[in-house]
Amino acid sequence: MKAVICTKYGSPEVLKIGDVEKPTPKPKEVLVKIMATAVNSGDVRVRGLIVEGFMKIVMRFVLGFTKPRKAILGTVFSGVVEQIGENVTKFKVGDEIFGATGFKFGTYAEYTALNEAGSLIVKPKNASFEEAAAIIFGGQTAIYFLEKVGIKHKTNPKILVIGATGAVGVAAIQIAKHYHADITAVCSSNGVGIVRDLGINNVILYDKEDFTKYSKKFDIIFDAVGKTNKSQCLPLLEKGGVYKTVGGLDVATETQEQLYFLKELFEQGKYSAVIDKTFPMEKVVEAHQYVDTGHKKGNVVLKISH
Ligand SMILES: NC(=O)c1ccc[n+]([C@@H]2O[C@H](COP(=O)([O-])OP(=O)(O)OC[C@H]3O[C@@H](n4cnc5c(N)ncnc54)[C@H](OP(=O)(O)O)[C@@H]3O)[C@@H](O)[C@H]2O)c1
């Protein structure tokens, strides 16, 4: 099968298309024909070993010293179950599914074999394969962090979403909307259209004004891009308010429950995939170059099969 191989850590050119053995599913695994994946900020971080200071050493221990041990990157997918192991009960051949592989990686490929108990479920009925692949990374991350700040237990919380136009930001806005939050978004002038399309009127343009001087106070401040710290945001917090950033040491985990939640929102028409660009697998280098800029809006999809 064709796959994108990460030959070493470095610039996007380290990614090469090659032929590797097609996996065979173990008894509890499904063989998935991957239709689409996404190129996320996490993928470019791994490819380029883009982390600060001592974390570089930690990452080398976790991921591999000179190159990723898991040479096929990619952590999200949508696709079709092509074969099932003899003990699989949850899926059948032909099911259209979506999910995340976490540290197993392996979704920049035509096939992957995954344990049925992992973070994979039947995809939203009304989602294309591209949309289904696009919503996973930002969606699962935003759900993880917004649950940590207890959003579902607050009544109409006032929330400030910093970095509202990234994969995590557009997801956070839509999830906060579901919880009837009063949302204010921080984004650049280039991103304001996307934020308004998501139904947000209170927008602070960080390239035009200093958001820390804003007059309103918030119950939740969620930095979805990791560009702030708590002390900077303290003046904007209500008494008892909480600050959370994706930029700390807390790493989001992926669960089936998060996928069910995203599927439900998508099927109810309450969730949009916000796809910025779609690239074919052959253009994976260009896709990584684009995501490397740090300016993508929403999600970048990598189409694997047609
Ligand atoms: N801790 C975790 O578990 C976890 C999980 C997922 C992601 N992350 C981290 O979260 C960060 C965001 O991820 P992502 O996938 O959403 O990134 P992304 O899709 O690449 O988006 C970044 C977005 O932020 C905007 N932006 C850049 N600088 C900004 C600023 N100073 N203020 C407000 N907006 C700004 C960019 O648009 P403009 O440049 O036009 O403003 C862009 O739309 C990454 O650093 C990633 O590594 C952490």
Q: How far apart are CA 131 and CA 274, in angstroms?
A: 8
Radius of gyration over every alpha carbon of the chain, rounded to an integer in angstroms: 19
In this predicted structure, what is the pLDDT of residue 249? 87
Cβ of 25 below 6 Å from ligand 1: no
Determine the distance separating the centroid of ligand 1 and the alpha carbon of 167, expressed in angstroms: 7
Task: Say if pTM beats, i.e. exceeds, 0.95.
Answer: yes
Averaged pLDDT for residues 164-184: 98
Protein residue with its CA nearest to atom 21 in ligand 1: 166
Banded pLDDT at 289 (limits 50, 70, 90): very high
pLDDT at 187 over 90: yes
Averaged pLDDT for residues 245-257: 94
In ligand 1, the atom with minimum distance to the C-alpha of 170 is 16
Q: Is 220 exposed, middle or buried (0-12, 13-18, 19+ CB in 10 A)?
A: buried
Percent of the chain past pLDDT 70, that is, above it, reads 100
All domains in the chain, ordered by first residue: 2-137+268-303 (3.90.180.10), 138-245 (3.40.50.720)
Task: Out of 225, 245, 255, give the residue to mutate to test ligand 1, the one with the largest number of ligand atoms within 8 Å of its CB.
Answer: 225
**Do the Cβ atoms of 5 and 72 come closer than 8 Å?**
yes
Cβ of 124 below 6 Å from ligand 1: no
Determine the distance separating the centroid of ligand 1 and the alpha carbon of 4, expressed in angstroms: 24
In this predicted structure, what is the pLDDT of residue 166? 98
Provide the Cα torsion 165, 170, 172, 176; round to 10°.
110
Cβ of 288 below 6 Å from ligand 1: no
Cα dihedral 168, 171, 177, 183 sign: positive
| pLDDT tens track for 195-242 | 999 999 999 999 999 999 999 999 999 999 999 999 999 999 999 999
| pLDDT tens track for 13-56 | 999 999 999 999 999 999 999 999 999 999 999 999 998 888 89
| pLDDT tens track for 96-123 | 999 999 999 999 999 999 999 999 999 9
Averaged pLDDT for residues 70-80: 98
DSSP string, the chain: -EEEEE-SSSSGGGEEEEE-PPP---TTEEEEEEEEEE--HHHHHHHHT---TTHHHHHHHHH-SSS-SS-S---EEEEEEEEE-TT--S--TT-EEEEE-GGG---SBSEEEEETTSEEEEPPTT--HHHHHHHHHHHHHHHHHHHHTTGGGSSS-EEEEESTTSHHHHHHHHHHHHTT-EEEEEE-GGGHHHHHHTT--EEEETTTS-GGG-S--EEEEEESS----HHHHGGGEEEEEEEEETTSS------HHHHHHHHHHHHTT-----EEEEEEGGGHHHHHHHHHTS---SEEEEE---
pLDDT at 306 over 90: no
In this predicted structure, what is the pLDDT of residue 287? 98
In this predicted structure, what is the pLDDT of residue 113? 98
Cβ of 4 below 6 Å from ligand 1: no
Q: Which of 52-66, 110-124, 273-287 has the lowest mean pLDDT?
A: 52-66
In ligand 1, the atom with minimum distance to the C-alpha of 206 is 32
Q: Directed axis angle between helix 284-292 and helix 41-48, to 10°?
A: 100
Determine the distance separating the centroid of ligand 1 and the alpha carbon of 190, expressed in angstroms: 14
Q: How far apart are CA 223 and CA 236, in angstroms?
A: 13
Q: How far apart are CA 306 and CA 295, in angstroms?
A: 28
Q: Hey, what are 33's tokens? A: 């024909």
